[in-house]
Amino acid sequence: MRSKSPVKAYLKALEETYRSGSAREESFYPHLKSLIEELSGGKVEVIQAPSKEEFGFPDFKVIRSSGGAIVGYIEAKRPGANLDAAETSEQLKRYFNFVPNLILTDFVEFRLYRNGKLRDKVSLAINNLPTIGKLTPKPSAEKELNRLLNLFLSFSMPAIKSMDKLADELARRARVLKEAIARNVESRAITDIYETIKNDLIPDLSPGQFADILAQTLTYSLLIGKLNAKRRITLDNVGNFIPQKLKLIRSIVALFVSSRMVEGVPDEIRWALDDIVNVVNAYAGGINYRDVATYFYEPFLKRYDPELKEIRGVYYTPREVISFINRGVDTALEDLGYENGLANESVKLLDPCFGTGAFISDAVDRTLEKHVSLWGNADTRRFIDEHVLENFYGFEILIAPYVIGHLTLDAMLKELGYRGDKAFRLYLTNTLERPGSVHHQSKNLLEQVLTDEKAKADAVKDKEPIIAIVGNPPYNKISANKNKWIVNLLKKTVDVGGEEIQSYYEIDGKPLKERKVNLQDDYVKFIRFAQWKIAKTGKGIVGYITNHAYLDNPTFRGMRQSLLKTFDRIYILNLHGNKRKREDDENVFDIQQGVAIGIFIKEKRKNDNKLAKVFYFSTLEAGLKTREEKLKFLSENTLASVDWKELNPESPSYFFVPTTITKELREEYERGWKVTNIFVEKTSGVATSRDRFVIDFDKHALVEKIKTFVSDEYTDKEVQKVLNLKENYRWRVKEARQKLREDLATHDLHEYIIPILYRPFDVRWIFYHPAVVWRPRIEVMIHMLRGENVGLAIGRQWEVVGSEQYDVAFVSKIPTDFNLFRRGGNKFSPLYLYLPNPRKPDPHNYIRVPNFTQEFQKFLKERYGDKVSPEDVLHYIYAILYHPEYRTRYAEFLKYDF
């Protein structure tokens, strides 16, 4: 029977606990739990959080006794705590971000917040616990508390009707889930999943990246369960509503909801998942597959982690771009003899960088539209079964977009009225990994499914005669795809079906003498994969939108020659938008890097050296500067209607852009000496990768930063935070500190502080040590430190951000920074070399010799005898490079050449 005054009994219990000598917050928890449950009349259950120091949720979760829906949360502070201070704390701000219904209490005063705004508060008693150990009840305490609790208990998650709002609510809770996974990554259940994904999919996966991947995957998976259930779900039943055909998603969800497997899952993660279930249950809308990327996935990532969205290049591809590429592929297929193009049931299509499935979705739309126009609706079910679901493939390496992709395509099939058991042939795999590579034996369900996915993807890579490849490959100069197969495929000329596919690392049969880092960009690897795959089939089409750097960058001239040899026709639609080169137009994506559509058509196997015909169109030259103008152009034109300009790519550059260089002008220009053929030793400038740390105007400030870095007063994590240092795959604070401490034990710190030419006329100080400087270029810069010297710093116009006129030449008496010319392009050559004196073997005894090649010295001797000095040569070169007529006449060469 209910007590006449539960509040008085509750206050009495608080007094007794306090007087017993225990003032720990947790000692009062049972009293609060009993009070709330009693006043609710048994309608709710109050669940106490585990007593862990780091737990990402408030102290209590309140759920309805019937159905288990979350009502809200309660955060308790010790009796007498300052709730005003607690209310403005970072902890409460964090809770307000994802808890819409929260009570904050010190067990005596109760404050109710809705979406972070104070709605009601009540104090039950005059608190004299610290002085006389007594609580004096207020006459209206029970009535006021009941009022507050009724308001608290009346809350239910408001119906969510738009995907944009759903993205917002889920993003907030997915962040909480990510933090919970990160805090518990060493628990057995989570470690097993981490090791499985790391071993079978992403070898260099960090714990932080894993927490992000798993949080997103689980969030999207619960949404799939809800959409299929069409009723309320719980963690206990959601697994029943993940379609059997989505085996990987089912296996991941099972690890967290199956009673057999859930044992080792930390409570904090279960709480976070329950909160996500609460949100998806409130979703009252449907999923329009066309809008998933635009109105759900991209907004979700933007709110979940804006920086992550930037890093991964997760920007939805505009429909107009996708449609133009797919229409071009469709038309080209007909030209190759495939009647009805994509609707031809012998055509096999692959998107090797699937993302959320926009290219495949559009291709399916186009294919079905064409099929229905030819044959009507009667045969559509068979056509989907036997063509679309058999011959359209997708590869994706990231689990989160893979899950979204299945969500998109499953919704699409339902929209088309398809009710069969087949799923799209979308596989979780690394496109750029060698097909058939050996993996260890599967130890659990997740490993079995991943192994199965990889085996199916490998069969497509190795055996299926893919005739069309489309997509938007990722652009990432520092590529994570470094496995041996794709790197060798780039570097080596390979025989594919009796046809040689030239290496990207050679040009006209000779090694490519360029920095190769750009050739390691992900989009380059995806182009190489597509080239290899189409060559295996013998004919076919590639339609990509990518970074447009490969069109004219000198580093890619071997790549361009290789593509010219493999394909018969190449269409380049340059969409520009390169903010780094100050192109005067908008990008079709929200990125800095300019882009281009490339459609590459191979008509047959080629065993001759005949190069492809290249057709080019520039939106900038056509006066299309805004995003809207460009997208309108793409929607209104086809491969046949664009006013293409035919190019004639020639050695040595094989440009995929128009050029004004004539044969006569080239011969005239090449009679001169390349600067890179004049000097023996040359290098790019010093690249620190952490300028703010190791470079400074103030020498004293720089010394203090280095002292802080090696100080034992700070842990590795503390010094990283204090100095705002970012780690990456090639540099770790711990290893750098250890190396630097070892060297400073025997050397004075000041020995490593030298001047550096940071920008023209801008001399600063650098702590010049390989432990903290990424690329010190010591093998060349040492000649600037051993004695008096001067060096020539030059660049190629395409490598820098600046004026359109050539202006990248400078001289320096000290080492130079890599970004001397605003954004790279600094090729530095000392005038003299300081070499060990063979007659006096002494580490401090050097002889000074000109840094000229033998060929150039011979030329000087024959032409001028002994009349010119090395300084004369440097002065002459510098004067020529600044001569207006020289710059104007050879402007096109100076963009790309030395």
Q: Note the pLDDT of residue 312.
A: 47
CB 19 within 8 A of CB 5: no
For the cut 90, the answer to whether the pLDDT of residue 420 exceeds it is: no
Residue showing tokens 């935070």: 721
Q: Note the pLDDT of residue 6.
A: 93
Q: Which run of H or of E encompasses 833?
A: strand 832-836
User: Tokens for 179?
Assistant: 């933090």
Q: Which stretches does DSSP call E strand in 343-476?
A: 349-351, 392-396, 425-428, 468-471
In this prediction, residue 798 has a pLDDT band, given cuts at 50, 70 and 90, of low
Find the mean pLDDT for residues 871-879.
95
For the cut 80, the answer to whether the pLDDT of residue 547 exceeds it is: yes
Pick 264 or 549 by higher pLDDT. 549
Backbone angles phi, psi at 641, to 5 degrees: -95, -15
Q: Rounded distance, CA 329 to CA 348, Å? A: 12
- Cβ neighbourhood burial of 354 (10 Å; 0-12, 13-18, 19+): buried
Find the mean pLDDT for residues 774-781.
94
Taking CA atoms, 503 is separated from 456, 565, 566, 609, in Å, by 28, 11, 11, 14
Contact residues for 574 (Cβ-Cβ < 8 A; gap 6+): 548, 551, 594, 596, 616, 617, 618, 619, 620, 657
pLDDT digits (tens, 9 = 90+) for 472-509: 998 765 555 677 899 999 999 999 988 999 999 999 99
Give residue 398's Cα distance to chain centre.
Answer: 10
Nearest Cα to Cα of residue 567 among 604, 619, 513, 593:
604
Q: Rounded distance, CA 221 to CA 276, Å? A: 11
Pick 55 or 167 by higher pLDDT. 167
Please tell me the pTM assigned to this model.
0.78
Q: Whole-number mean pLDDT of the chain?
A: 89
Q: Note the pLDDT of residue 261.
A: 47
In degrees, to the nearest 5, what angle opens at C-alpha 667 toward C-alphas 664 and 669?
A: 110
- Pairing outcome for strands 468-471 and 349-351: parallel
For the cut 70, the answer to whether the pLDDT of residue 880 exceeds it is: yes
Q: Which residues pair with 393 in a beta bridge?
A: 350, 425
Nearest Cα to Cα of residue 793 among 853, 881, 859:
881
Residue type, 859: F
What would you report as the CA-atom Rg of the chain, rounded to the nearest whole angstrom?
33
pLDDT digits (tens, 9 = 90+) for 48-71: 998 766 788 999 999 999 888 999
Q: Cite the DSSP H helix spans in 653-805.
A: 663-669, 675-678, 691-694, 699-710, 716-722, 733-744, 778-785
Q: Note the pLDDT of residue 649.
A: 94
What single-letter DSSP state applies at residue 498? T
Q: Rounded distance, CA 132 to CA 129, Å? A: 6
Q: Rounded distance, CA 727 to CA 203, Å? A: 18
DSSP string for residues in 438-463? --PPP-SHHHHHHHHHHHHHHHHHHT
Q: Note the pLDDT of residue 871.
A: 96
Count of beta carbons in the 10 Å neighbourhood of residue 439:
13
Q: Which residues pair with 394 in a beta bridge?
A: 351, 426
Give residue 372's Cα distance to chain centre.
Answer: 39
Q: Note the pLDDT of residue 306.
A: 67
Find the mean pLDDT for residues 517-529.
90
In this prediction, residue 775 has a pLDDT band, given cuts at 50, 70 and 90, of very high
Q: Note the pLDDT of residue 440.
A: 54
User: Tokens for 370?
Assistant: 């064409």
User: Tokens for 293?
Assistant: 């990327």
* DSSP three-state, residue 335: helix
Q: Rounded distance, CA 765 to CA 697, Å? A: 6
Q: Rounded distance, CA 873 to CA 880, Å? A: 11
For 594-598, 743-747, 796-800, which range has the lowest pLDDT when averaged over its residues?
A: 796-800
Q: Note the pLDDT of residue 873.
A: 95
CB 756 within 8 A of CB 687: no
pLDDT digits (tens, 9 = 90+) for 327-371: 999 999 999 999 999 999 999 999 999 988 899 999 999 999 999
For 29-43, 358-372, 822-836, 858-872, which range has the lowest pLDDT when averaged over its residues?
A: 822-836
Q: Note the pLDDT of residue 566.
A: 97
For the cut 60, the answer to whether the pLDDT of residue 439 exceeds it is: no
In degrees, to the nearest 5, what angle opens at C-alpha 209 toward C-alphas 99 and 196?
A: 110
Q: Rounded distance, CA 371 to CA 663, Å? A: 51
